[in-house]
């Protein structure tokens, strides 16, 4: 075996260790949120193109959980290849989530290796290729992307995007860094098999388009490389660009036909161009993403950007610090390594996702640029181009410190993610093991449902084997993970129920903002409003500018109907069952064994 092969095997082994250190505990995390819907769709659908395209969707409001204050909503995607690969993985895993998590670790490992290869092409030595792969493998922002099965499409599209860029690098003959201290050049060599590399580029691009829509950024990444790395005339590459353009148009036409147009969701998923807040949202999200990439600030889908936009001094000061550091690194390496391409990589790969709500998986492809820039900066500190032997101990310390920080943050973010999955698991356990028997077609009503348990209905169907359960969230807990304040439940009549908060408010803060964004045609949540929804009518009995304090529900059937099941979230229980046949005090405070108070009218 050659020394080169041994080096790459060592890099692959070291990267596998880092992937395991950062994410191995995800194997036991099971299904979470969107996973339950994807699991059902993939298990019930067939193997044809049309069936896989139909399965590429996410039910949000209506099919998985009804919200009386929001219209039915869902997301439709065009990701037939990604869902085909996931169906194959599920089948190979005998429809057990453990196998899916192992596949996610495999995808992540493969992506990290390709990042290492790009680092070698850019910096010129395998030690820095290994460090680039390690930075990517252990980046804290990847915790959710790797450990949440629903994000596997992001791993797939990144793998195929990296493969397309590497193949194009060889096809176009971009310059590669040398293992010596000379500036990057291309030594004399035989012309590469251009047609074969171009075919590989197109195949990888097609695969990426079939996995996720943000793959449309790949041609821009290739064009940027021709302009910034090769610095050659573009005319020889025009046939390749024409072919990529044809593939892009074909993808858009297929997507249009499969989805019946170009359906674009509204808020909170997507901020439209005509939204008055579009520019402010995009700029703030870009700054937030840079902080997450280079300063490891956690990306929180609901409250993260809301917090930073409420504290702009923190956001923009941190952003300015990151930009200053990047400019300093670029200036220091300006004669040895062109980092402009990798900076532009971050911008171009983030571009398609900037108008979409904040989520950590949006950082996966942009993190490739971050990993190579960071590895190049560490290489410069070690005297990679200037032979400063005195600087090498500092570089060694920096590498060790960075690995320690990344590993610690990976553990912390994984702990937070596992805490969220535990909420859903415990909620399902309380409903299934401690609640009444649930039968096919029953209706489940959740009071103070934590947002982390939003997809509890399909999870209960999978746990019980029941079919066609219908879930309603009467109220959402003010906290994402649990109900953190007392709640007063009163049965006003056999068909009437009052839910009241004496201290806090429903629909307040970041969750309240999310609820208001879901209200497209429903009336505003103001006092006195009456909203009819399915089996009940809700009256907003008491509200103020801070939120809603009391709600009254009038049901079409008695609360004690055998096909009705009520579950209450409290400070001690996530879904304590409520027995509507028991009538204790009318003003009983909701606790784990709380019952419903009597009808005050006698």
Q: Is residue 56 in some structural domain?
A: no
Same domain, yes or no: 330 and 443: no
Residues near 79 by Cβ (< 8 Å), separated by ≥ 6? 56, 153, 210, 211, 212, 213
- How confident is the model over 220-224, as a mean pLDDT? 96
Q: Is residue 590 in some structural domain?
A: no
Same domain, yes or no: 435 and 353: no
Is residue 520 a contact partner of residue 561, using CB atoms and an 8 Å limit? no
DSSP, collapsed to helix, strand or coil, labels residue 43 as: helix
pLDDT number for residue 181:
45
Question: Which ranges in 70-123 belong to alpha helices (H)?
Answer: 80-92, 97-123
Same domain, yes or no: 326 and 455: no
pLDDT number for residue 478:
87
Question: For residue 495, what pLDDT band results from cuts at 50, 70 and 90?
Answer: very high
Q: Which two tokens stand for residue 66?
A: 């009804």
Same domain, yes or no: 337 and 434: no
Specify the DSSP element, H or E, that contains 135. Answer: helix 126-137
Q: Is 296 left (phi over 0), alpha (psi -120 to 50) or beta?
A: left
pLDDT in tens, 270-292: 898 888 999 999 999 999 999 99
Q: Is residue 329 in some structural domain?
A: yes
Whether 601 has a pLDDT exceeding 60, the answer reads: no
Task: State the Cα–Cα distance between residues 89 and 102, nearest whole angstrom.
Answer: 10
- Final residue belonging to a domain, choices 387, 411, 443: 387
Task: State the Cα–Cα distance between residues 309 and 299, nearest whole angstrom.
Answer: 13
Same domain, yes or no: 250 and 354: yes
Question: For residue 598, what pLDDT band results from cuts at 50, 70 and 90?
Answer: very low
pLDDT number for residue 535:
94
Residues near 387 by Cβ (< 8 Å), separated by ≥ 6? 181
Total domain count for the chain? 2
Sign of CA dihedral 52, 368, 236, 201: negative
Instruction: Find, among 495, 521, 575, the residue nearest to 61 by Cα.
Output: 521
Task: State the Cα–Cα distance between residues 134 and 373, nearest whole angstrom.
Answer: 13
DSSP assigned state of 45: S
Same domain, yes or no: 383 and 431: no
Q: Is residue 92 in some structural domain?
A: no
Same domain, yes or no: 481 and 383: no
pLDDT above 70: percentage of residues in the chain:
90
Q: Is residue 454 in some structural domain?
A: yes
Whether 249 has a pLDDT exceeding 80, the answer reads: yes
Same domain, yes or no: 219 and 300: yes
Comparing 155 with 385, the larger pLDDT belongs to 155
pLDDT in tens, 99-138: 999 999 999 999 999 999 999 999 988 999 999 999 999 9
Whether 563 has a pLDDT exceeding 90, the answer reads: yes
- How confident is the model over 52-79, as a mean pLDDT? 87
pLDDT in tens, 294-341: 999 999 987 899 899 999 999 999 999 999 999 998 888 877 677 889
Whether 388 has a pLDDT exceeding 80, the answer reads: no
pLDDT number for residue 235:
82
Same domain, yes or no: 275 and 347: yes
- How confident is the model over 16-25, as a mean pLDDT? 94
- Final residue belonging to a domain, choices 363, 387, 411: 387
Q: Is residue 306 in some structural domain?
A: yes
DSSP, collapsed to helix, strand or coil, labels residue 386 as: coil
- Burial status of residue 310 (CB atoms within 10 A of its CB: 0-12, 13-18, 19 or more): exposed
| 90-96 contact pairs (CB < 8 A, 24+) | 90/39, 90/42, 90/43, 95/39, 95/43
pLDDT number for residue 482:
87
Got the DSSP string for 409-430? HHHHHHHHHHHHHHHHHHHHHH
Same domain, yes or no: 444 and 376: no
pLDDT number for residue 583:
45
Q: Is residue 185 in some structural domain?
A: yes
Q: Which two tokens stand for residue 437?
A: 């028997």
Same domain, yes or no: 383 and 430: no
Q: Is residue 594 in some structural domain?
A: no
- The distance of Cα 520 from the centroid of its chain, to the nearest Å, equals 24
Question: For residue 193, what pLDDT band results from cuts at 50, 70 and 90?
Answer: low
pLDDT in tens, 458-482: 999 999 999 999 999 999 998 888 8
DSSP assigned state of 453: G
- Final residue belonging to a domain, choices 371, 387, 403: 387
Q: What's the alpha-carbon Rg for the chain, to the nearest Å?
A: 27
Domain that residue 450 falls in = 425-578
Same domain, yes or no: 357 and 489: no
């Amino acid at each position: 075996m050659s020394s080169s092969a041994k080096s790459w095997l060592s890099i692959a082994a070291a990267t596998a260790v880092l992937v395991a250190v950062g994410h191995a505990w995800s194997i036991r995390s099971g299904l979470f949120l969107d996973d339950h819907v994807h699991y059902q769709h993939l298990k019930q659908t067939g193997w044809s193109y049309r069936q896989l395209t139909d399965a590429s969707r996410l039910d949000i409001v209506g099919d998985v959980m009804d919200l009386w204050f929001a219209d039915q909503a869902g997301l439709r995607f065009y990701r037939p290849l990604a869902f085909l690969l996931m169906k194959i993985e599920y089948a190979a895993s005998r429809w057990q989530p453990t196998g899916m998590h192992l596949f996610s670790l495999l995808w992540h490992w493969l992506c990290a290796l390709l990042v290492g290869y790009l680092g070698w092409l850019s910096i010129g030595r395998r030690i820095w290729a290994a460090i680039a792969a390690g930075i990517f493998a252990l980046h804290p922002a990847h915790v959710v992307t790797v450990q949440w099965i629903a994000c596997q499409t992001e791993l797939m599209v990144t793998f195929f995007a990296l493969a397309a860029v590497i193949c194009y690098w060889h096809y176009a003959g971009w310059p590669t860094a040398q293992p010596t201290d000379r500036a990057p050049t291309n030594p004399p060599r035989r012309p590469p098999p251009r047609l074969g590399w171009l075919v590989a580029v197109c195949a990888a691009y097609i695969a990426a388009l079939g996995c996720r829509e943000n793959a449309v950024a790949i041609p821009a990444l290739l064009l940027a490389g021709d302009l910034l790395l090769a610095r050659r005339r573009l005319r020889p590459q025009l046939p390749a660009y024409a072919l990529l353009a044809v593939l892009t148009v074909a993808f858009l036409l297929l997507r249009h036909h499969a989805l019946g147009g170009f359906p674009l969701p509204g808020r909170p998923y997507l901020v439209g161009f005509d939204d008055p807040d579009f520019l402010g949202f995009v700029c703030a999200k870009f700054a937030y993403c840079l902080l997450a990439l280079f300063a490891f600030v956690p990306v929180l889908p609901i409250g993260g950007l809301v917090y930073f936009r409420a504290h702009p001094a923190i956001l923009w000061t941190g952003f300015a610090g990151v930009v200053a550091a990047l400019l300093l690194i670029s200036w220091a390496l300006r004669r040895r390594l062109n980092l402009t391409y990798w900076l532009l990589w971050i911008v171009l790969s983030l571009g398609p996702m900037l108008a979409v709500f904040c989520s950590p998986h949006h950082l996966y492809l942009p993190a490739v640029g971050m990993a190579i820039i960071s590895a190049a900066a560490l290489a410069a500190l070690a005297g990679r181009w200037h032979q400063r032997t005195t600087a090498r101990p500092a570089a060694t310390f920096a590498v060790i410190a960075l690995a320690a920080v990344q590993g610690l943050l990976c553990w912390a973010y994984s702990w937070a993610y596992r805490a969220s999955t535990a909420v859903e698991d415990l909620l399902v356990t309380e409903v299934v093991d401690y609640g009444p028997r649930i039968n096919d077609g029953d209706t489940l009503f959740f009071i103070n449902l934590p947002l982390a348990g939003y997809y509890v209905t399909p999870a209960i169907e999978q746990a019980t084997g029941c079919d066609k359960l219908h879930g309603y969230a009467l109220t959402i807990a003010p906290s994402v993970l649990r109900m953190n304040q007392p709640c007063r439940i009163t049965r006003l009549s056999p068909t009437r129920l009052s839910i009241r908060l004496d201290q806090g408010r429903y629909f307040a803060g970041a969750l309240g903002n999310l609820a208001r964004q879901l209200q497209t045609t429903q009336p505003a949540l103001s006092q006195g409003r009456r909203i009819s929804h399915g089996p009940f009518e809700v009256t907003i009995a008491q509200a103020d500018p801070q939120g809603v304090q009391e709600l009254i529900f009038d049901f079409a059937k008695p609360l004690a109907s055998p096909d009705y099941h009520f579950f209450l979230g409290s400070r001690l229980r996530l879904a304590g069952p409520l027995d509507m046949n028991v009538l204790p005090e009318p003003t009983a405070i909701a606790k784990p064994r709380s019952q419903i108070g009597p009808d005050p009218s006698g």
